[in-house]
Amino acid sequence: MSVSSPVEALAASAPEEGAPIGIGARRVVRLPPVGVLVAGTVLVLIVLAALVPQLLARQDALAVDLHHVLAAPSGRHWLGTDENGRDVYTRLVYGAHTSLWLGFGAVAIGLVVGSVLGVAAGLGARWLDLVLMRLVDVGLAFPEILLALVVIAVLGGGTANALIAIGVAGIPSYARLVRAQTLTLRRAQFVESARALGVSRVGVVVRHVVPNAVRPVVVLATIGVGTAAVAGAALSFLGLGTPPPDPEWGSMLSTARNYVGNAWWYSVFPGLAITLLVCSTTVVGRHLQRRLEGRRA
Amino acid sequence: MALALTTRPARRHPLVRHALVRVATGVLVIWGAATLTFLTIHIMPGDPVQAIVGGENAAPTAAVLAQVRRQYGFDQPLVVQYARYLGGLLRGDLGVSYQMHQPVSVVIGQQLGATVQLAVAAGAVAIGLALVVALLTANRRRAVRSTASGAELILASTPSFWLGLLLLAAFSYGLHWFPSIGNRGPASLVLPTVMIALPIAAVVSQVLRTALEDALEQPFIVTARARGLGEAAVRVGHALRHALTPLVTMAGFVVGGLFGGAVIAESLFSRQGLGRILLTAVTSQDMPVVLGIVLLSAAVYVVVNIVVDLLYPIIDPRLKGAVA
């Protein structure tokens, strides 16, 4: 199977962690590695910023202060100010909401629609599988970012449309993953046992096949939240996502490119925020993936 | 994926048969993609004729509208339009741009060179870098591997547009080594190439190192070492070939990354190219241009995947049996 989506690529490239392979590497109850703890903490902070930004930033994200335009980082403005004198730190904190909303929303669309299609293809009639999978092949032939651009061209820009665009672009790869899972489960012993014990077809599908087929994909979707957020920021950077003056990391960088020469803080910190988010979701996602595989083995 | 397609005993040479099946599936996928793009034009909210005569604010007369409608064939039944569209595609005709009033194929032809140049350069740098890093760090000391995989994680997580911005700040505005905009001369190619290549290289080298480490555990490596081969010869001559199979499965990811990277790089560095045209077309809802470029990229993607698929048995001769 070929790797086409960024999510699969990031997941496929996971290096093994912890103790070296061999005797003594048996799993015991232990704390997750330091990297995972750090990543988890960063994620908690970003989620906190998205839910209760007032807790982390006291200033107003939209307050213009023309006396302190493009001011360097200081005690008053930790990460400096932008071209309108707005506090960069405050805008970063308030921007977490849009990024996470994009990330989770887009993944939810891809995951839900992809799972329905994948389970239908994996369990349905042969012709249904054939039709759905050829459609998925067509979808996978378009690089995700281009598919998202087509959706934007049809629907127009803005945060909500960017979310839909990235979500739709992700459907084919989730569908393929869920189908692959469903196919292996179809012949799994516990599924056949459940049937033999007299559980109805629908009961087996709902209680046994779907949860077990979707679970590993949900773990993969953790990484997807980060890549979807970055795709959303990219669309905003290109002027197709969240419009100004709303605080959003990608659109902040888009404006910041006009001040690259004279206000380094303006283009450094929003990018750092995005990178931290993607790093953290990747580390946590890979860790969950490894634990899931460890339990199965 | 393709292996399952050819399970029946083959009369022809298995590889030829495999190739034919792959090409046929590829043609089907491109046909599906073309159908999808055709449907997209026609489910668009708003009248394409209105877009052609100058957007929502223009007030053309009914006669003008009717003439444009006839000229672009929008007065025909959908099936006829579909047949014309497919027929046109076979002759390389992708329709006419709403905004530029030029054939899309001409528009693409003018911009293709700049983007191909950028994508090929970035692809070569990405793969080359990944090969070097993976070969140097596979199965090395823990500190070396941790440093490499940490750096790869950060680079793979870095949004390319931010990386581009940092490169601009450091090497263009700071050190004045490279121009900040345009596509004049090889120097202008350096920063956009690095910007696209680094995140791709980071992901690919992780996969490659895992594959190399797996290969270095194999018995044939012990044999090679027993024959007295040096470490470099073992890695490049024996382990690398074994590790290439996982690498070629990444081809789709690499192609997608190159396309996406080109769109952003051309915007950030104000370069000519398909990405910039695509972006303008998306903003102005110039659908024939958007879909023409997207269809072209899908075709490239399908062709690359077919080529890669046909390369498998050549890279790894053990797969010849599996294909048949």
Asked if the Cβ–Cβ distance from B298 to A141 is below 8 Å, we say yes
The verdict on residue B9 lying in a domain is no
Interface test with A, best of B42, B161, B245 (most A CBs within 10 A): B161
Is the distance from CB of B304 to CB of B255 less than 8 angstroms? yes
pLDDT of B57 above 70: no
Per DSSP, the residues of A263-294 read -HHHHHHHHHHHHHHHHHHHHHHHHHHHHHHH
B169, B259, B278 ranked by CB distance to A267: nearest: B169
B324: confidence class by pLDDT, cuts 50, 70, 90: very low
The verdict on residue A15 lying in a domain is no
d(CA B296, CA B303): 11
Total tally of structural domains belonging to chain B: 2
Per residue in B305-318, pLDDT (tens digit) is 888 888 877 777 77
Name the pTM for this structure. Answer: 0.85
The verdict on residue A201 lying in a domain is yes
B32, B33, B267 ranked by CB distance to A238: nearest: B267
A150, A237, A257 ranked by CB distance to B290: nearest: A150
Nearest chain A Cα distance for residue B67, angstroms? 25
pLDDT of A15 above 90: no
Asked if the Cβ–Cβ distance from A141 to B256 is below 8 Å, we say no
CA–CA distance from B304 to each of A13, A134, B91, B125, B300 (Å)? 21, 18, 22, 18, 6
Mention every residue, 6+ apart, whose C-beta is less than 8 A from residue B107.
Answer: B97, B100, B277, B289, B292
Q: State the CATH number of the domain containing residue B230.
A: 1.10.3720.10
pLDDT of A107 above 90: yes
Q: Once rounded to an integer, what is the mean pLDDT over residues A70-90?
A: 83
Query: Looking at A212-216, B73-77, B130-134, B258-262, which range is the least confident one?
Result: B73-77
- The continuous run of DSSP H or E covering B150 comes out as helix B142-157
Structural domain of residue B36, as residue ranges? 21-90
Total tally of structural domains belonging to chain A: 1
Tell me what the pLDDT averaged over chain B comes to. Answer: 84
Per residue in B263-303, pLDDT (tens digit) is 999 999 999 999 999 999 998 888 889 989 999 998 998 89
The verdict on residue B231 lying in a domain is yes
d(CA B133, CA B94): 42
Buried b (16+ CB within 10 A) or exposed e, A254-287: bbbbebbeebbbbbbbbbebbbbbbbbbbbbbbb
Asked if the Cβ–Cβ distance from A278 to B210 is below 8 Å, we say no
Nearest chain A Cα distance for residue B182, angstroms? 16
The verdict on residue A7 lying in a domain is no
Is the distance from CB of A144 to CB of A84 less than 8 angstroms? no
Instruction: Name the domain boundary from B48, B65, B90.
Output: B90
The verdict on residue A4 lying in a domain is no
Nearest chain B Cα distance for residue A239, angstroms? 9
Mention every residue, 6+ apart, whose C-beta is less than 8 A from residue A71.
Answer: A77, A80, A81, A85
Structural domain of residue A185, as residue ranges? 20-292
Q: Once rounded to an integer, what is the mean pLDDT over residues A281-285?
A: 92
**Residue B321's pLDDT is what?**
57
Q: CA nearest A270 in B: which residue?
A: B162
Chain A neighbors of B148, CB-CB under 8 A: none
The verdict on residue B5 lying in a domain is no
Per residue in B179-208, pLDDT (tens digit) is 877 777 788 889 999 999 999 999 999 989
Q: State the CATH number of the domain containing residue A256.
A: 1.10.3720.10
B145, B159, B206 ranked by CB distance to A271: nearest: B159
Examine the domain organization and report whether B62 and B159 are in the same domain. no
The verdict on residue A12 lying in a domain is no
Q: What is the ipTM of this complex?
A: 0.83
The verdict on residue A216 lying in a domain is yes
Q: CA nearest A241 in B: which residue?
A: B283
Give the tokens for residue A205. 């599908």
Nearest chain A Cα distance for residue B152, angstroms? 10
Nearest chain A Cα distance for residue B297, angstroms? 7
